[in-house]
A and B are shown apart, each in its own frame.
Chain A
Amino acid sequence: MATATAARTPRPRQPLSGRVSDRAFNRASVLLMSVAILAVAYPIYFIVIASVSDPNAVQNGQVLLAPSGFTLEGYERIFSDPTILRGFGNSVLYTALASTISVVLIVSGGYALSRRDLPGRRTITFLLVITLFFDGGMIPRYLVVKELGMLNTIWAMVIPAAVGVWNLLIARSFFDVTIPHELREAAQLDGASDFRFFFRIAVPLATSLIVLMAMIHVVANWNAFFDALIFLNDADKYPLQLVLRNILIQSDLSQLGATTGDIESYAQAQRVGELVKYGTIVVSTLPVIALIPFLQKHFTKGALLGAVKS
């Protein structure tokens, strides 16, 4: 897998040259990078250990390097909470549908745009790229979605953000670079139509593009919250990120146990609430973090493709 990381320099590995200053430089970089790694990784590590620790110990600052007073109470509460579970289910549904729509549109559109014999190709590309630099803004976009009757429906979650110009350009460059024009001309001479060539040859050759696009969109859709905030009204339809916002940022713990309303259960809810906060961060981030190893294989390749000029 390491070889797939495009960021690796083609320079052959070799022992440090004799220069003392170079060795000192390398040591300083290693030190600096170790500090950077700690600074990035520690908050994540802390969240994980805090999610299984006694909330009182966390509150008192006793949890720093290892969990204290191990408990799974937070996770039990999370996995029995109807709001969180519904949010999780909604997010899975929106993410799957939205990502499928995006990938289909981007791959087919990107292929068509990569064809140099497409009449009007330059004009169309130009019209698409303009939207990168100027758009109508939040309010007209909202009004259009409203006009289409999509407000408070699943469609508002899967269509309005479907195609990004940047991704379309990456797909275009991908086809432009990977599919030799001679191949298409040969297929054309043999009587293959554009459809046939696209489905039988271009798509099978584009698996790495498709995987890359699928992953980019799965991550983006899973993490999106703003469209849900403005387009959805029913709490039943909220994706996980919006549920999390209410729990983490607005500290809305009303869902979490305080049903009887007496002070004791309120204090209990407050206590578990802190645990739930750490736990939800872990649970909601895990699916995306699990994708990183796969993404790493495909990402840098794609990032460079976008830069290829045609």
Chain B
Amino acid sequence: MTAQLNTPDVPASSESPRGVPVTRSRTALRLRRVLRAWQLYVLLAPVLLYFAVFKYWPMYGVQIAFRDYNPSDGFSGSPWVGLAHFERFFSSFQFDLLLTNTLVLAVLNLLVVFPIPILLALLVNQLVSQRFRNVVQTVLYAPAFISTVIVVGIIYVFFSPRSGLVNHVISLVGGTPINFLAEPGWFRPLYIGSGVWQDAGFSMVIYLAALAGIDPSLHEAAKIDGASALQRIRHVDVPGILPVVSILFILAVGNLLNVGFEKALLLQTPLNMSTSQIIQTYVYQAGLQQAQFSYSAAIGLFNSLINLGLLLTFNWVARRFQQSSVI
């Protein structure tokens, strides 16, 4: 077969191989084109293999959510139990707490973290001094390169009850020190606040790039017509970046329940569990620490399905009202 493959790569003459087999069937023609591109498939093969093994195989493995997984029988050989794991999860005492915590954290996070970079970008874009703009950009997006572990480490250091800077300031102004990491009420502010601190600048850069793509003559014309800076933001910049905003919003909604659970896990202490325990951290604990594979796979699947539903809904909404959509 390989001998056949090598030949069509040197079509020196004017009759291209595509023109020859007019009488052949379409499948033969298609096969010929596939064989001719074999070198491209070789280049693509590692990626395809990767996706088959690390994306599609786990997708196939999701069926353990409906089975009682045991390693010797594998994904498809373990005994079928139907929806038993889902029923157990829905009726467990933790279900309400997990769902509430996850949704509240995710929605608050989206509402706070999503708009801030847009506002920052609109303001930075109007700054007159180019040098100052560059300083703002560089400083604000530097924290994006700091790891989650370090960000949470910084939180622990700053908000430590005895030695932390924040509590020093609180005592200085006459308040009583707060043990932030032991208070369930402080988990969400810490989580969301550190998210803004870390990611706002990075997302801002994306919006700035979109703003740079707006036709400068629109701004010139608006200026000649006497529009103020605020009016130009409102009528030129905002409509200009709206497509990018809506695409990023759909993607953010589609990942709503995948709220960076690694940070939640790191910020979790035995004392703040009543707000910090979310679906994903629970999947980690039940699944990997207690080895309840099937039960936690079911919970994970539940999480993925809600995400998918949200994504499709918002994508459909966006498609109805605008031309831009993700899929």
Which residue numbers of A lie inside 8 Å of B, CB to CB? 2, 5-11, 13, 16-17, 19, 21-22, 25-26, 29-30, 32-33, 36-37, 39-41, 43-44, 46-47, 58-61, 64, 104-106, 108-109, 111-113, 115, 117-120, 124, 127-129, 131, 133-144, 146-148, 159-160, 162-163, 168, 188-189, 191, 193-195, 198, 219, 222-226, 230, 241-242, 244-245, 248-249, 274, 277-278, 281, 284-285, 288-289, 291-292, 295-296, 299-300, 303-304, 307
Once A7-B209, A137-B297, A249-B153 are accepted as A-B contacts, the answer to whether A44 and B44 lie under 8 Å apart by CB is no
Task: List, in ascending order, chain A residues with CB within 8 A of B43's CB.
Answer: 108-109, 111-112, 194-195, 198
Residue B132, interface by CB 8 Å: yes
Interface residues in B26-67 (C-beta closer than 8 Å to A): 30, 33-34, 37, 39-44, 46-48, 50-51, 53-62, 64
Complex: chain A residue closest to B284, CB-CB = A138
Cβ contact within 8 Å between A137 and B304: yes
Interface residues in B117-151 (C-beta closer than 8 Å to A): 120, 123-140, 142-143, 145-150
Task: List, in ascending order, chain B residues with CB within 8 A of A8's CB.
Answer: 130, 133, 212
Once A6-B212, A109-B43 are accepted as A-B contacts, the answer to whether A141 and B154 lie under 8 Å apart by CB is no
Cβ contact within 8 Å between A40 and B61: no
Cβ contact within 8 Å between A289 and B61: no
Cβ contact within 8 Å between B48 and A7: no
Interface residues in B199-252 (C-beta closer than 8 Å to A): 201, 205-206, 208-209, 211-214, 216, 219, 223, 228-230, 244
Task: Output the least CB separation between B130 and chain A (Å).
Answer: 6
Residue B288, interface by CB 8 Å: yes
Residue B262, interface by CB 8 Å: yes
Complex: chain B residue closest to A137, CB-CB = B300
User: How many cross-chain pairs have Cβ atoms below 8 Å apart between A and B?
Assistant: 303
Cβ contact within 8 Å between A138 and B142: no
Bound form: Cα–Cα A284–B162 in Å: 25
Residue B266, interface by CB 8 Å: yes
Cβ contact within 8 Å between B147 and A222: yes
Residue B90, interface by CB 8 Å: no
Task: List, in ascending order, chain A residues with CB within 8 A of B216's CB.
Answer: 9-11
Contact with B152, one of A22, A109, A160, A249 (Cβ below 8 angstroms): A249
Task: List, in ascending order, chain B residues with CB within 8 A of A163's CB.
Answer: 47, 50-51
Interface residues in B279-302 (C-beta closer than 8 Å to A): 280, 283-284, 287-288, 293, 296-297, 300-301
